[in-house]
Chain A
Amino acid sequence: MSHKVVIPIGPYHPLQEEPEFFRLYVEGEKVVDIDIVIGYMHRGIEELSEHKHYDQVAFLVERICGICSTSHPFAYVNAVEDLGKIQVPERALYIRTIIAELERIHSHLLWLGLAGHFIGYNTVWMWAWRYREPVLDLFETISGNRNHYAMMKVGGVRRDIRDEDIPIIRKTLDELTSATEMFKGAVMDDPVIQWRLKGVGILTRQQALEWSAVGPTARASGINIDVRRDDPYGAYDRVKWNVIIQKEGDIFAKTVVRILELFESISIIRQCLDAMPKGPIDADVQEIPPGEGIGRVEAPRGECFHYVRSDGTNRPVRHKIRAPSYMNVATNKVAAPGGTISDAALTLAAVDPCYCCTERTAVIERPSEKKIMNGWDLIEKSRQKTKHFLITRGK
């Protein structure tokens, strides 16, 4: 006689970096169905966006996600530039591409580390995050910030990439290449990892199509899509690279896609650094005409979709935002059932649900005193760190 038991995961759990609630229906150890409950992070950003002017919205949407923080402003500026038929200076397109690919690298490394941690392979976790750290340092060198870079603006970018930073970027990329080679061997050739991840959490090609999955989740199920190639933006049509496809649809395939994409990202950045022309970085847009525009970006997790409607004033009348996880998390409805409870924990993480884990220092504890830092303290701390960077790197 089968007896269905409900196992709740979440909404708050030490293993989840963000609140999400999964209700697993199990028979014995086998998962037979799953309910996905979201909304614990809902902040009403679409509504807020209607009350900000076009320049402010870029900052607002940057705060949707702490990991792929540039994907949303990038998709947003693409949408507004589509709306207003705005020509962006060539150099700005290259800078945007470099920033977006650096972000993909650190995001994929973050996922790889978490995946290693979830399967109990903590060495991979330590390695991945150790190699992710220099990428965040690069962001700090380029933009002054590790996570919210504030590079995108309608018509261009806010900061140039200085000539003296380029050798630093190249050096980090060289180190990343050998690290990625190591991951490729240590993860993809490891028989234990293969045994744990192959055939687990399969999302078939047909299911991926029906649920309109995007990004590495879709590409690991044999669907040949990538916005960077299909609907080029930034400088992606000016460089050569490959879209990584796997057929199996299991967690191993998703891992392989992300690891191999690291090499492509590194290659794209190198080509951009070689080909980036001199010139202005901002079109200096004054007015947004009435109309509507759609902007898309291939975020680390897949297509990020923004729709903006303007009535000719300085604020959007509607701004629809669809993050890639919105499509991918929903696929757990079909990918998790059939496996065991312990498989489900991996399957749910395999789509790389978007974690907001950028909260850094809030409280500093000393043996004798406890100091709570406010926003200004953090800004001052950030300035000191940037100054330290400039000094140690000889500028």
Chain B
Amino acid sequence: MITEKIKTRLKEQILDWFEHNPKRIYISVAPKDIRLISDYLFKDLGFRFATASGLDTPSGFEILYHFSFDKEGVVVSLKVLLKDKNNPQIDSLATLFPAAEWIEREMWEMLGINFVGHPNLTRLLLAEEWPEGKYPLRHEHSGEEGHGHAH
């Protein structure tokens, strides 16, 4: 079982382990560990990077990195919470595997999260005319005003 391997190897990094069912695992980790853990899943264990979901929540920006282990049909979602709503940032995974390049650009333009070390942090989907510093997936409680540009 792949999940046992992860539990043993990452026991110091896992903040919370939630098993919705045997094929849907959610692991909360610290933002500073994201590169180390992703590298382990992708390169050592052979996980496929499916995508990432960025969310604006009252307690901060949340990112779920969804990794798929196709041999067992398991989706492991790494959850991080970026508490600093004024300056949300996290290390980029795009230099570990190019599959993360586009979705990080998307989360950058939609939520204003800065991905440190991304080779090409430019707009992916939004039009050129879209105003700078306005992030369509931020909720009202984040406040459109007074937010620094996240780049």
State the A residues within 8 Å of B (CB): 38-39, 42, 44, 46-47, 82, 85, 209-212, 214, 224-225, 227, 230-232, 291-294, 296, 303, 305, 307, 309, 317-318, 320, 322, 326-327, 330, 333
Jot down 20 A-B pairs with beta carbons below 8 A, ordered by A.
A42-B126, A44-B136, A47-B136, A47-B137, A82-B20, A82-B21, A210-B97, A225-B48, A231-B23, A231-B70, A231-B75, A292-B20, A293-B20, A294-B66, A307-B64, A307-B66, A320-B54, A322-B51, A322-B103, A326-B103
What residues of chain A lie closer than 8 Å to B73, measured between beta carbons?
227, 230-232
What residues of chain B lie closer than 8 Å to A85, measured between beta carbons?
21
Q: Verify B127–A318 contact, CB threshold 8 A.
A: no
Chain B, range 114-133, C-beta contacts under 8 Å to A: 123-127
State the B residues within 8 Å of A (CB): 20-21, 23-24, 26, 48-51, 53-55, 64, 66, 68, 70-75, 77, 97-99, 101-103, 123-127, 136-137
What residues of chain B lie closer than 8 Å to A230, measured between beta carbons?
70-73
Q: Verify B126–A303 contact, CB threshold 8 A.
A: no
What residues of chain B lie closer than 8 Å to A309, measured between beta carbons?
55
Known contacts A211-B98, A294-B77, A333-B98; decide if A305 and B26 are in contact (CB<8 Å): no
The complex places the Cα of A209 from the Cα of B73 at a distance, in Å, of 17
What residues of chain B lie closer than 8 Å to A294, measured between beta carbons?
24, 66, 75, 77
Known contacts A318-B55, A333-B98; decide if A46 and B64 are in contact (CB<8 Å): no
Q: Verify B50–A212 contact, CB threshold 8 A.
A: yes
Q: Verify A39–B126 contact, CB threshold 8 A.
A: yes
The complex places the Cα of A224 from the Cα of B48 at a distance, in Å, of 12
The complex places the Cα of A385 from the Cα of B16 at a distance, in Å, of 56
Chain A residue at minimum C-beta to C-beta distance from B64: A307
Smallest Cβ distance from B118 to chain A, in angstroms?
14
With beta carbons under 8 angstroms apart, the residue of B26, B53, B72 that contacts A318 is: B53
Known contacts A39-B125, A46-B137, A292-B26; decide if A326 and B102 are in contact (CB<8 Å): yes
The complex places the Cα of A327 from the Cα of B100 at a distance, in Å, of 9
The complex places the Cα of A214 from the Cα of B49 at a distance, in Å, of 10
Q: Verify A291–B20 contact, CB threshold 8 A.
A: yes
The complex places the Cα of A44 from the Cα of B54 at a distance, in Å, of 15
Known contacts A210-B99, A225-B70; decide if A320 and B51 are in contact (CB<8 Å): yes
The complex places the Cα of A48 from the Cα of B146 at a distance, in Å, of 25
Smallest Cβ distance from A230 to chain B, in angstroms?
4
What residues of chain B lie closer than 8 Å to A296, measured between beta carbons?
75
What residues of chain A lie closer than 8 Å to B97, measured between beta carbons?
210-212
Smallest Cβ distance from A289 to chain B, in angstroms?
12
What residues of chain A lie closer than 8 Å to B75, measured between beta carbons?
231, 294, 296
Chain B residue at minimum C-beta to C-beta distance from A323: B51
Smallest Cβ distance from A45 to chain B, in angstroms?
11
Q: Verify B48–A212 contact, CB threshold 8 A.
A: yes
What residues of chain A lie closer than 8 Å to B98, measured between beta carbons?
210-211, 330, 333
What residues of chain B lie closer than 8 Å to A330, measured between beta carbons?
98-99, 101-102
What residues of chain B lie closer than 8 Å to A211, measured between beta carbons?
97-99
The complex places the Cα of A38 from the Cα of B102 at a distance, in Å, of 10
Given contacts A230-B73, A307-B77, A320-B51, 12 further A-B contacts (CB under 8 A): A39-B126, A47-B137, A82-B21, A210-B98, A211-B98, A212-B49, A212-B99, A294-B77, A307-B53, A320-B53, A327-B99, A333-B98
What residues of chain A lie closer than 8 Å to B101, measured between beta carbons?
330
Smallest Cβ distance from A326 to chain B, in angstroms?
7
Q: Verify B51–A326 contact, CB threshold 8 A.
A: yes
What residues of chain B lie closer than 8 Å to A214, measured between beta carbons?
48
The complex places the Cα of A230 from the Cα of B75 at a distance, in Å, of 11
What residues of chain A lie closer than 8 Å to B74, measured between beta carbons?
231
What residues of chain B lie closer than 8 Å to A47, measured between beta carbons?
136-137
Chain A residue at minimum C-beta to C-beta distance from B96: A210
The complex places the Cα of A230 from the Cα of B103 at a distance, in Å, of 24
With beta carbons under 8 angstroms apart, the residue of A39, A231, A317, A326 that contacts B123 is: A39
